[in-house]
Amino acid sequence: MARLVLNFYQLLLALACISMVAAFGAVGLGILARLANWDIPGLDAYAGYAIAAALFLALPSTLIKGEHIRVTLLLERAPHRLRQGLEWWSLGAAAGLSAYMAWFALRLVWVSYVTNDMSPGADASPLWIPQIAMALGCVGFSVAFVHALLRRWQGRDLIAAGHAAHTE
């Protein structure tokens, strides 16, 4: 099961990379279009969608690799017992909040689809299409926190802390 979850994180990271390339392409095409006096409506919106997709899709992978900015000053200075309690509380709260965020991101996609919500910009795209990437990233982020919580329950290091300790 762990291999499946790690492959899911890798898939989301690959999609984030594709989104970054798409954002680069949209911005580059926008620059070329301005130089050639072309009008490509909605190009800025597509670049924004791609950047947002890259940010959300990369969340789970960056969490498990320990690359999120995190504040450990309090945990490092706390006594061992208090530190364990704070770690449990932090992981539980993060898993709960990320699940809440994932639920509402999925709901947003559904509501946009059902109501045929369109982008107000020049692109006039159905909003549920770019929102799928956000929802997928939120679901992956939630799975990553639950994964970290399960690892902690098994007595293993936190995913992020374990990786960071090996790289420093």
Which band of pLDDT confidence, cut at 50, 70 and 90, is reported for residue 165?
very low
- Token pair of 26 as six digits: 């949209």
By C-alpha distance, which of 23, 5, 109, 19 is closest to 57?
Answer: 19
| Average predicted confidence (pLDDT) for the chain | 87
Measured between alpha carbons, how far is 57 from 17 in angstroms, rounded to an integer? 9
Tell me what pLDDT residue 104 has: 97
Which band of pLDDT confidence, cut at 50, 70 and 90, is reported for residue 163?
very low
Tell me what pLDDT residue 166 has: 42
Q: Which long-range contacts (CB under 8 A, 24 or more apart) does 86-92 make?
A: 87/152, 87/158, 88/152, 91/145, 91/148, 91/149, 91/152, 91/158, 92/149
Tell me what pLDDT residue 157 has: 67
Averaged pLDDT for residues 93-100: 95
pLDDT higher than threshold 80 for residue 23:
yes
3-state DSSP assignment of residue 39? coil
- Token pair of 156 as six digits: 């293993």
Which band of pLDDT confidence, cut at 50, 70 and 90, is reported for residue 60?
very high
Give the pTM. Answer: 0.83
- Token pair of 69 as six digits: 């900015």
- Token pair of 96 as six digits: 């709960």
